[in-house]
Structure 1
């Protein structure tokens, strides 16, 4: 009895050190325990294997197995599950299979979690067919039964690999066999449907969840709400309806008394800002702060975006000072939001200075911020400065070209815009259809119909060569 208690205490100490990432101290505890006559067991070494997998590496973890055998302790299924999981986290499918096969060679029968982890590894590696094969193995093995986690991994993996229809069919098939899904399964499916843009189906599953007697939780509501606000265009009829749905979901969350985190509020505020409903966004942000929800970097970025849209630059700079006092470092989104806000407020000089400051601080290239400044310069009538900046930057994307082409057309410089358009297409880069149309329409309206016709042919040729 004394030995059992001592070994248990030894394992508790080792687990504590491993959790704190102090693996050397954990190793020292094992040595001291052996010296005192308290021998480690398989749990001791499994704890160590898992810690090495998470914090050091797979090879270091695998080397523990040799020490286990020297101590007369045989690895078990938990040992190998830790190794397979570590290989899965790094998408090392070959290594996962090696560990899985080694279990068979050692005479250790895999459990359902061994198959679950391997199935997840195949999905992560973009091999849904092989993952489905593992799923069938679980179904066909007489000594194993799939768990709810098995079904969740299958549904999630199918959705993430573009097989959303297959995930929904599997869900329905499992229900026909008598499987009663819990809230986690519903959330996995709803998340997959939302990420695939199947909002209508996601709403159907949400209604089905309500009718099943299971109550949607904060994760369910936030997932649906985010999908509603992700509509491509709030101006379209569907986009406007989805937007209102999102607000309804948020109101339902509030009425049911769910505890909100910053993410839920920021999702709503971000959507309101994009729609131009600044006052409502401001009210929600005040609600969040009144509830005492701690502001993280995402919350600060949302607030900065809100104040910039309001034109309240004084409040924006106060927020930046507050972030610095709290030890939060501005990320690229923070800088981009600030630069975009300065441009929209017409303060182009300040935006350019902040862009230079970013470069001096070594924040790296921020193409989105550069695009904002170029567009801001053009809208301020300083198109030559914008062109100069455009020529100096090495990295450009389709938005950089599209913005420059559109602004050149607005300035009536259609020939320059056409040359820039062709250089973009010949470089193998796409450009917005609105930019192409603006150049062609501009040339025609200026009386250069022949040049417009030639440009259209060159655009077609460039597109053919590209594809």
Structure 2
């Protein structure tokens, strides 16, 4: 009996290894070979197979294993059905989840807390928070003891379905009833608050986390930091990064570049240079994203000679510049009024095989318009195969500045026919220009078109 038990255990270890490597055919062959030499598979054997089929093939293939289990005289258990329900949830198959749950009950198998957790997650995933809440209430009213993951699923699901206030209330209520949240719970709530653009509340929870005895990790800090940057609370974002550094967290190139880009955007070049120097001193190898950030910084400072040297450094270092790299330089040249240099670099881009250069074209059109060369901007516009709302927005606004309101109106009409609506400030400038120039009928027609466009959206 000991030999048989040990052999089945070894069989299960072999099958688990093959399943993890996605070699399901070999796992099946091991079961057949095991039966031939007298090693009898057990429920763990088949549950391992069910889980692997759910992950790598599909729920139907996994479900077929149940019939083979029964033929071998082995009854599926709650773990079998949990794997199947989880697989159906992964594929957003709600009706199949409910059918499997019902079948489990009919087979006399009692669902455990994980069965309910998976079902609750499925409802949230499919945008049915009321049904998920009913499952949560069933857990609380049953003899089952909720797992910390139960509360995490509930808080995460409420946040993702737009019920951040409810998630926050649940979190506070659970604390009042003795629930001690772990770091993962705090991270889920902080992430939900950040996605709802509630950076102030997220920072308050971060403070609570520090007072709870748990230590925030890199994920916690990075989430709040990015939220502050998105909310344009740049000083607070940089403060959080400084706090991370003081606690000894290591930074990758992406984290450094995020902060450097923000500092460049807000004109704090000294701070950006300091972070870039620190990044290099810490031995972080510069990737293309890092180089693009540095290039943007040089262009913003007007150091174009250094920017061109950096391009040479990127290419000599074995990295291939992308469209974004070249577009940064073109945009910088346009903003500095060096239209000839921007045109020359756009030509170089085309020679290098970058043909879909919509953003670069838009930068040049805007630069030409602001430099008073609106006819050249129109020529460039006519040569473009693809245009977007930025193309039209720049042209219409610059035509208005040049007093060519009828031409701008025709362009706006074409834009509306193509299903694009430009910025409110651009539309207002055109309507005001038409009215002040005596083209009131044209302004009236355009207003009507704007109303129709809004109704059709």
Normalised by the size of structure 1, how large is the TM-score?
Answer: 0.85
- Given candidates 271, 276, 281, the residue that maps to 2:267 is 276
- What corresponds to 1:236 in structure 2? none
Tell me how far 1:174 sits from its aligned partner.
1.4
Question: Counterparts in 2 of 1:65-464, with a 5 A limit?
Answer: 65-142=66-143, 144-231=144-231, 239=232, 242-293=233-284, 299=290, 302=293, 305-306=296-297, 309=300, 311=304, 312-316=307-311, 318-319=313-314, 322=317, 324=319, 334-346=322-334, 347-351=342-346, 354=349, 368=359, 371-372=362-363, 374-376=365-367, 378-379=369-370, 381=373, 382-390=376-384, 392-393=385-386, 396-425=387-416, 427-443=418-434, 447-448=437-438, 450=440, 453-454=443-444, 457-458=447-448, 461-462=451-452
Distance 1:335 1:146 in 2: 52
- What corresponds to 2:16 in structure 1? 15
Tell me how far 1:345 sits from its aligned partner.
2.5
Tell me how far 1:399 sits from its aligned partner.
3.0
Name the SS for the 1:345 alignment partner: helix
Structure 1 runs not aligned, ≥5 long: 232-238
Distance 2:288 2:5 in 1: 48
CA contact (8 A) 1:428 1:466 kept: no
Distance 2:423 2:73 in 1: 68
- Judged with a 3 Å threshold, the aligned counterparts in structure 2 of structure 1 residues 438 and 127 are, in CA distance, closer, same or farther, namely same
Name the SS for the 2:251 alignment partner: coil
Normalised by the size of structure 2, how large is the TM-score?
Answer: 0.86
CA contact (8 A) 1:49 1:79 kept: yes
Deviation readout 1:403-451 (Å, 9 max, x if unpaired): 3322333444322212222333455432201211222343456x33635
CA contact (8 A) 1:340 1:372 kept: no
- Judged with a 3 Å threshold, the aligned counterparts in structure 2 of structure 1 residues 340 and 157 are, in CA distance, closer, same or farther, namely same
Tell me how far 1:281 sits from its aligned partner.
2.9
Cα RMSD (Å) of the superposition?
A: 2.9
CA contact (8 A) 1:273 1:281 kept: yes
CA contact (8 A) 1:440 1:455 kept: no
Tell me how far 1:247 sits from its aligned partner.
0.5
Q: Which has the larger radius of gyration?
A: 2
CA contact (8 A) 1:186 1:205 kept: yes
- Judged with a 3 Å threshold, the aligned counterparts in structure 2 of structure 1 residues 297 and 24 are, in CA distance, closer, same or farther, namely farther
Tell me how far 1:374 sits from its aligned partner.
4.3
